[in-house]
Amino acid sequence: MIAQGTIIGHRYRIIDLIGTGGMAHVYRAVNLSSRKVVAIKVLKDEYRNDAEFLRRFEREARAVLHLSHENIVRAFDVGETEGLPYIVLEFVDGRTLKDIIDENGPMPSRIAVALVVQVLDALDAAHAAGIIHRDVKPQNVIVMQSGKVKLMDFGIAREVDANTVTFAGSTVLGSVHYLSPEQAKGLPVTEGSDLYSAGIMLYEMLTGRVPFDGDNSVSIALKHISDAPVPPIELSSKVSPALNDVILRALNKDVNRRYGAANEMSSHLRRALKEPTGDFARFIPTQKTQPQKKQQTQKKKAHGTLKIGLTVGVLIAALVGVFVVLRDVYQTESSDFEMVPTLVDRSVEESKLRATNFGFAFEIQDYENSDTVASGDVILQTPEGGTKAKRGSTIYGIVSLGPAAPKVPNLIGLSPDEARHTLEETGLVLGNVSYRISEAAIGYVCEQSLPPDTETTNGQVIDIVISASSETTFDMPHAMDLPLNLILDQLKLASFNNIFVRYAESNIVEDGVVYLQDPLPGTQVLPEMPVTLTVCGKPDYTFISDIAFNLTVESSGTKVMVAVQETYNGLAYYRILYEATLEKGDKVPVSFTATSETEGTQEVVLFSDGAVVKRQDFAFTAKAS
């Protein structure tokens, strides 16, 4: 076990133990660089020299690091601590699907399908990457408060083309209630094995029970091999005929008669909600009922299978016995446990007194900065309030140091007003604004007095330099609360030639009136600097065009703007059609429907961080009536 407060990998501080599985302990930890909470899965010490468990752990690391899907618990890092391998995983705050089923019983069909479809989406991504999970069960599905599902624990996952079996020597892989027939027989697994397990899980969600149960693991495994499940529609009248057919197809003993892919099963589940009486998923037997003599022969074969299964399954029964013993020990000791008081947001002195009153001790584990918890109060405690812990044990607390020293933000590429706003949000102050000729887009910050990420103090003054073509400046006119046409006339007289007009709804001024301007009045500006006017309302134009671009975005946070040039009283300006902040990527789509006051072909201009990157002609036509 790893002690609380231990730092592993030079960047992860262990907070507490949150779970223990068959081959690993799972800890909650904090990434000291990002301050984000993560989960760290560490191989148990007793398996450090076990080649099979080391291979399984390595397979999980390889599997999850190459899987990126919103319904799969993400992996960030792998490493080794004191000779034990570990995986750094996304910390998911939620409950297991098994806990939800146990506490609430059968679910409404729509909720059950909504959850299972997300599991199937995760399996579809894993299968596409060549990975079979092999242990799909409600205990490995986390349901977040938002309803999003996360599939976890790829500890026994294998590549699709690996020749794997369920019973390998003395090691039993998989959970018997959700085991596919081929796994129970010790045959190679396929994607269909995961879909069988997903079908079992859906069966349990809808009926509140698993289709196959028994006195021991061996008898359950044999039922997967030979017994037909009771149709879920017979256990719950709320299960529709179509949904019943989908489940029974997923639970077919013959993998070739199940669904061929996770997305196919997912599609049928969605369809079952729309067509509850449809027969699109119904399984039609290809053979007639066998004569009595053949049925007796089949029973003899099943009896032979039973003998083989009993021989193979002795170990499983022993494991069940160990579980029962551990459960009894836990129940015996439960009387020594007490409810843990909540200490979060309380001072250290108050926490010590409260812990003592409940029969516990309190110790400070560490200090951390916090923007939300007052200095000297507890940010986090282990164990958590409301859980149970052994009477007389210690509650460890992380205590707030108050807000961290602000870091200087990156201002390069921002307009003067954007730079001012960004600094104010950080607790810093905009100082001197100067201008110089540079290769950066004119009118945007090209230099700042302190580099980004520099730690400083609240109120620190930051000077900026704006890219310009000359250094002769004058005061920016006042544009707010005035009609747009009047402002455009003033800007024309002042020789401004880089004007942008944005339309947006507002309840503080009338339509056609400017209510925001960048730069602000009185700011030192140059005629070629970009001026953005935000006007109340939106133009009622009758011609439209579908605009589409594919962009290569070099860095996340890139600001993109699409505009069309219009003219008023001889002054050309850009009317903004679209604005967004994009993440890094190749062929990032930008698409929308634009409007215009004139029909025909017009040039549409694409700006990235203030610079023109593309010009393209689009045809504007009348709206369909």
The residues that are catalytic are: 135
Collect all residues with Cβ–Cβ distance below 8 Å to 237 and sequence separation of at least 6: none
**Quick one: DSSP state of residue 176?**
G
CA dihedral 589, 594, 599, 601 (to 10 degrees): -20
Cβ–Cβ contacts within 10 Å for residue 499, how many?
A: 19
Cβ–Cβ contacts within 10 Å for residue 445, how many?
A: 22
Q: Are 535 and 499 in contact (CB under 8 A)?
A: no
Q: What are phi and psi of 150, to 5 degrees?
A: -130, 125
Q: Are 59 and 157 in contact (CB under 8 A)?
A: yes
In the structure encoding, which two tokens stand for residue 426, read together? 């950080």
The Cα–Cα gap between 437 and 219 comes to: 82
In the structure encoding, which two tokens stand for residue 2, read together? 């790893």
Cβ–Cβ contacts within 10 Å for residue 383, how many?
A: 18
CA–chain centroid gap for 602, Å, is 41
SS (H, E, C) 590-614: EEEEEEECCCEEEEEEEEECCEEEE
Q: What are phi and psi of 588, to 5 degrees?
A: -75, 125
Taking each helix axis from N to C terminus, what angle separates 191-207 and 241-250, rounded to the nearest 10 degrees?
140
Cβ–Cβ contacts within 10 Å for residue 588, how many?
A: 16
The Cα–Cα gap between 354 and 377 comes to: 13
SS3 call for 375: coil
SS3 call for 231: coil
SS3 call for 228: coil
